[in-house]
Amino acid sequence: MADNSKREQIILADIALVEMVTGIKTVKRTIPTLAVLDNFAVTQMPVAAVVGRLPVPKNHFAKRDGQVDFIVSNLKVDVYVFFQENESMDSELSSLLDDMWVAAYTDPKRGGLTMNTWLECNELPEWLSPYYAFQITINHQYQHLPGGI
């Protein structure tokens, strides 16, 4: 993993953002299987998985000599949140979603790493009995050099 790539820096900034959400107890970089979720203690739930997709170049800007100067790409970072089924699942989902929303828009430029950030929610939460899950996609538009992502 290129620790110095802008892609990685943006993903790490999103992980730090998710870790700041008070309702989230555990943050991982991979989507856990049901067997893995079963190994988490109740005190470690909800669990969030933060997974970066590949950047999609949207535009490039060239110097007068035709060499590419920089590229503008979109990067999607998916956040999957898993918690245990209970009588107040919908209320818990609302609370977690609200906290994630506030955190994501507190610094939409991620300290200057991105040009713009916006959220998309998967409209339909999933029941993976005995777990309840929802997904938020954090979209970033960012500028990078042609020699790296």
Q: pTM for the whole thing?
A: 0.89
15-19, 31-35, 78-82, 128-132: lowest mean pLDDT where? Answer: 128-132
Calpha distance 10→114 (Å, rounded): 8
CA distance to 5, 26, 89, 100, per residue, from 138 (Å):
18, 19, 23, 10
The residues, any chain, with a CB within 8 Å of residue 135's CB and separated by 6 or more, are 78, 79, 80, 81, 121, 122
pLDDT at residue number 69? 80
Cβ atoms < 10 Å from Cβ of 8:
15
> Taking all residues of the chain, what is their mean pLDDT, rounded to a whole number?
89
- Residue at token pair 């956040």: 79
Q: How many CB atoms lie within 10 A of CB 143?
A: 15
pLDDT greater at residue 22 or residue 89: 22
Alpha helices in 21-132 (DSSP H): 34-38, 89-106
What number of CA atoms fall less than 13 Å from residue 46's CA on the CB side? Answer: 27
- Letter for the amino acid at 127? W
Measure the CA–CA gap between 132 and 97, rounded to whole angstroms: 13
Percent of all residues in the chain with a pLDDT value above 70, rounded to a whole number: 97
Which residue, among 127, 147, 123, has the nearest Cα to 137 in the 3D structure? 123
